[in-house]
Amino acid sequence: MKRYLILFILLFVSACSDEEVSLTVNQQENENTKIVEAADDASPESELESRTEDVEENNEENVQEEAIEKEEKEDDVTLFPYEGEVEHIFFHPLMAYPELSFAGPQAQGYNDWFITVDEFNRTLEELYKRDFILVHLGDVYEKVDGKIQKKTLQLPEGKKPVVISVDDVNYYEYMRQEGNVYKLILDDEGRVATYSLNPKGEEVISYENEIIPILDTFVEENPDFSHEGAKGVLALTGYEGVLGYPTHNLDSKDYDKEKKKAIAVVERLKETGWTFASHSYSHMDMGKASLESVKRDTEQWKKEVEIITGPTPLYIYPFGSRVKHGGEQFQYLAEQGYEVIAAVGPTSYTEVVHNVYTGDRRRIDGMALIDQPHLLTDLLDPDYVLDRENRPEEYLK
Ligand SMILES: [Zn+2]
């Protein structure tokens, strides 16, 4: 029933006239989200729901048929070696409630480092329009006789590979207070959704206000946007738990319960094309860290995060701050099994150094969209993507 409500709201909002939409929005804080408290006793919704159930099922079938058709098409296509650079772009969790982000103490930070839901949706639209295709970061290199080397991807003709990563999918306390969602959860059917409190303090479960469920739906509708089911890389620290679960409170009586919930979400994410990277345990500035502190930090990540995500060969530097190539910290990370180590830079360059696949990722955030739009034009139209409705004018100069 709940699932139907959500589907119904989705279809209703996207398919109906403005007049009807305003009726729905009165009941909803955000479009396409469900306020939990309202769901059980919402008689107007139930009535509308039964009226539209048939239409809804038909629509659902059509979408599924289209998706299957597209998938079949992808199976038929001939693959060609792709010799160019693999783009790697990254995001932070989305501003689900920008009104909170821009009213809080870190408004400037949110403006610089984060994007809104609309901006993410438009980014996907633009990448797809420009023939980008998602690939697994684990597929861009290979290990031959112990030697890491770049691997030539085989892609459908005309497609350009892009890796997406999302940093700090931890939902730190400040994020919950300032406009990000609270955690990732699984619905009754095992789909990943978000849980949050909206600015009114009401509980909201949504598929429409964070990168993970949005991209899941986008790929479902456009299977040719993903090569072999690839989605993205989720980079996690551990000092305030993972994915919104307090898995850092090892002594808490709820620890086992929270850990179990986090593992269930992780498993579903892995099944659906997502992978995990270490983002250090403490969001450490690696460029300034001693070997001792890198060791301590990595051990703690393995103890508290790896037991939830499983081992990963992917490492994403916090702050984009890298250790010296070949230095003892770098050597240590390589010995710990990290085969890919990524930083941040103006272009997506990659290189194998000291038997590690290294490279820079390009930022898709407010600073890039507002201050350096010229650096993004091969990926998207920054003017189109920039959300002038939700970003306060003072930041748009
Ligand atoms: Zn970070």
The full set of domain ranges for the chain reads 1-76, 79-395
275: confidence class by pLDDT, cuts 50, 70, 90: very high
Specify whether the CB–CB gap between 235 and 315 falls below 8 A: no
CA of 333 to the centre of ligand 1 (A): 18
In the Cβ-directed half-sphere of 29, how many Cα atoms lie within 13 Å?
23
CA of 167 to the centre of ligand 1 (A): 5
CA of 279 to the centre of ligand 1 (A): 7
CA of 319 to the centre of ligand 1 (A): 6
CA of 316 to the centre of ligand 1 (A): 8
Cα–Cα distance measured from residue 67 to residue 293, given in angstroms and rounded to the nearest whole number: 48
Collapsing DSSP to helix, strand or coil, 148 comes out as strand
Specify whether the CB–CB gap between 278 and 315 falls below 8 A: yes
User: What is the β-pairing status of strands 340-344 and 356-363?
Assistant: parallel
5: confidence class by pLDDT, cuts 50, 70, 90: very low
CA of 177 to the centre of ligand 1 (A): 18
CA of 170 to the centre of ligand 1 (A): 10
CA of 143 to the centre of ligand 1 (A): 28
CA of 179 to the centre of ligand 1 (A): 17
pLDDT in tens, 292-340: 999 999 999 999 999 999 999 999 999 988 888 989 999 999 999 999 9
pLDDT in tens, 147-186: 999 999 999 999 999 999 999 999 999 999 999 999 999 9
CA of 280 to the centre of ligand 1 (A): 9
Q: Is the pLDDT of residue 52 over 50?
A: no
- Counting residues of the chain whose pLDDT is more than 90, the rounded percentage is 77
Separation of first and last alpha carbons in the chain? 47
Question: Greater confidence, 16 or 332?
Answer: 332
Question: Greater confidence, 48 or 237?
Answer: 237
Specify whether the CB–CB gap between 374 and 349 falls below 8 A: no
CA of 364 to the centre of ligand 1 (A): 13
CA of 367 to the centre of ligand 1 (A): 15
Q: What is the pLDDT of residue 68?
A: 55
Q: Is the pLDDT of residue 49 over 80?
A: no
Q: What is the pLDDT of residue 12?
A: 34
Cα–Cα distance measured from residue 111 to residue 102, given in angstroms and rounded to the nearest whole number: 8
DSSP 8-class letter at 306: I
> Mean pLDDT for the chain?
86
CA of 89 to the centre of ligand 1 (A): 14
CA of 82 to the centre of ligand 1 (A): 30
CA of 166 to the centre of ligand 1 (A): 9
Q: Residue 177's closest CA among 149, 147, 211, 201?
A: 201
Q: Residue 265's closest CA among 295, 287, 234, 293?
A: 234
Q: Is the pLDDT of residue 127 over 80?
A: yes
CA of 282 to the centre of ligand 1 (A): 10
Q: Is the pLDDT of residue 219 over 50?
A: yes
Collapsing DSSP to helix, strand or coil, 396 comes out as coil
User: Hey, how many other C-beta atoms are within 10 angstroms of the C-beta on 106?
Assistant: 17
CA of 318 to the centre of ligand 1 (A): 5
pLDDT in tens, 55-98: 445 555 565 665 555 554 556 789 999 999 999 999 999 999 99
CA of 46 to the centre of ligand 1 (A): 42
Collapsing DSSP to helix, strand or coil, 324 comes out as coil
- Per the structure block, which two tokens stand in for 267? 């498993």
Q: Is the pLDDT of residue 11 over 70?
A: no
Tell me the average pLDDT across 266-277: 98
Cα–Cα distance measured from residue 365 to residue 362, given in angstroms and rounded to the nearest whole number: 9
Task: Return the residue matching tokens 């659902």.
Answer: 60
Kindly report the CATH number that applies to the domain delimited by 79-395: 3.20.20.370
Tell me the average pLDDT across 238-252: 98
Tell me the average pLDDT across 9-37: 37
CA of 337 to the centre of ligand 1 (A): 21
Q: What is the pLDDT of residue 74?
A: 54
Tell me the average pLDDT across 6-21: 35
Question: Greater confidence, 227 or 27?
Answer: 227
Task: Return the residue matching tokens 């709820």.
Answer: 254
- Per the structure block, which two tokens stand in for 368? 């890039």
CA of 227 to the centre of ligand 1 (A): 26
393: confidence class by pLDDT, cuts 50, 70, 90: very high
Q: What is the pLDDT of residue 349?
A: 86
Q: What is the pLDDT of residue 13?
A: 35
CA of 113 to the centre of ligand 1 (A): 10
Cα–Cα distance measured from residue 125 to residue 218, given in angstroms and rounded to the nearest whole number: 9
User: Hey, how many other C-beta atoms are within 10 angstroms of the C-beta on 17?
Assistant: 7
Cα–Cα distance measured from residue 382 to residue 108, given in angstroms and rounded to the nearest whole number: 19
CA of 140 to the centre of ligand 1 (A): 23
Q: What is the pLDDT of residue 348?
A: 85
User: What is the β-pairing status of strands 192-197 and 183-186?
Assistant: antiparallel
CA of 320 to the centre of ligand 1 (A): 8
Specify whether the CB–CB gap between 332 and 297 falls below 8 A: no
